Amino acid sequence: MLDETDDIHPLFHGAPTTTEFKKLRKRLIRETREAIERYGMIERGAKWLVCLSGGKDSYTLLAALTELKWRGLLPVEILACNLDQGQPGFPATVLPEFLEKMGVDHRIEYQDTYSIVMDKVPAGRTYCALCSRLRRGNLYRIAREEGCSAVVLGHHRDDILETFFLNLFHGGKLATMPPKLLNDEGDLFVYRPLAHVAEADCERFATAMNYPIIPCDLCGSQDGLQRQQIKKLLDEWETRAPGRRQKIFSALMNARPSHLLDPALFDFAGLSRQEQFDVNPEE
């Protein structure tokens, strides 16, 4: 069924026919569907703004969601959106041409946030925080203008793990990117359907499909970022103990508040022991 040309979306035309690729594709679709169902992302008849940066992750996200919708498993409207942030040398025609060719409904928005970031961020500081805030604000605006109920992002399992350790080591808190989030205004959901998908699978999939990858020349150009250091640490752990990433990720889905130290999550003060009384039946 997956190989019949009349039963496949244009996004998958030219897909490799190897057994390995078929397994990869099925795994991506299965894990995406699992996350969507586990975290209650589907509102029947809703419209999603699917954010497409041109990186491997967002291409994988678009392909997985399109396949689920194509097969009647995702009853929502999909609008792909690229926010051109005015980075010098950004190939502005790549994504519009790709989306037109694939028959994907889309909106391309130009907002020069690059100049703001370069002006506001001191030399030697990372661009990510301000860049992401500006990008998020514009995506929320576009979602409202298009009548969308959710902004859908391509963050995967490894992004979630890295954010967890960034918060642990540098923020002093147990927190990460949630698969489903309500924005501060309360009018838009933020979804991450690739929450269960490994970055390596996104890499293999996008490479095999020969999607036109656009690198990030802003944050991706900076060396020594804390996230890069965390990624290196996780790589080392994975090398020494294969499967370590998945074990840590599984732990995030198996939290036990009574075995942590946050009294806001568990009523330690209210714990009481059961008094034991010896009852003498002869008395």
Q: Give the DSSP per-residue string, 158-197.
A: HHHHHHHHHIIIII-S-----SEEE-TTSS-EEE-TTTTS
Write out the two tokens for 116.
Answer: 């703001």
Per-residue pLDDT at 220 exceeds 80: no
Q: What is the mean pLDDT of residues 261-282?
A: 82
pLDDT band with cut points at 50, 70 and 90 for residue 222 = very low
Model confidence over 29-77: pLDDT tens digits?
A: 999 999 999 999 999 889 999 999 999 999 999 999 999 999 999 999 9
The phi and psi torsions of 110 (rounded to 5 degrees) equal -105, 125
Average confidence score pLDDT of the chain: 89
What is the rounded distance in angstroms from the CA atom of residue 32 to the CA atom of residue 192? Answer: 9
pLDDT band with cut points at 50, 70 and 90 for residue 84 = confident
What pLDDT is recorded for position 11? Answer: 85
Per-residue pLDDT at 10 exceeds 70: yes
Q: Is the domain covering 5-259 a CATH 3.30.420.40 domain?
A: no
Q: If we measure between CA atoms, which residue out of 211, 245, 217 comes closest to residue 231?
A: 245
Model confidence over 109-124: pLDDT tens digits?
A: 988 877 777 766 766 6
What pLDDT is recorded for position 92? Answer: 87
Judge if pTM exceeds 0.85.
Answer: yes
Write out the two tokens for 131.
Answer: 């860049």
The residue extents of the domains of the chain are 5-259
Q: If we measure between CA atoms, which residue out of 64, 73, 54, 13 comes closest to residue 197?
A: 64
**Residue 59 contacts residue 90 (beta carbons within 8 Å):** no
What is the rounded distance in angstroms from the CA atom of residue 178 to the CA atom of residue 195? Answer: 8
What pLDDT is recorded for position 223? Answer: 44
Per-residue pLDDT at 21 exceeds 60: yes
Between 28 and 121, the more confident residue is: 28
What pLDDT is recorded for position 125? Answer: 66
Write out the two tokens for 128.
Answer: 């990510």
What is the rounded distance in angstroms from the CA atom of residue 22 to the CA atom of residue 262? Answer: 45
Tokens 């678009």 correspond to 62
Least confident range of 15-19, 104-108, 117-121: 117-121
What pLDDT is recorded for position 200? Answer: 96
DSSP-assigned states of every residue in 218-247? SGGG-SS-HHHHHHHHHHHHHHHSTTHHHH
**Residue 60 contacts residue 197 (beta carbons within 8 Å):** yes
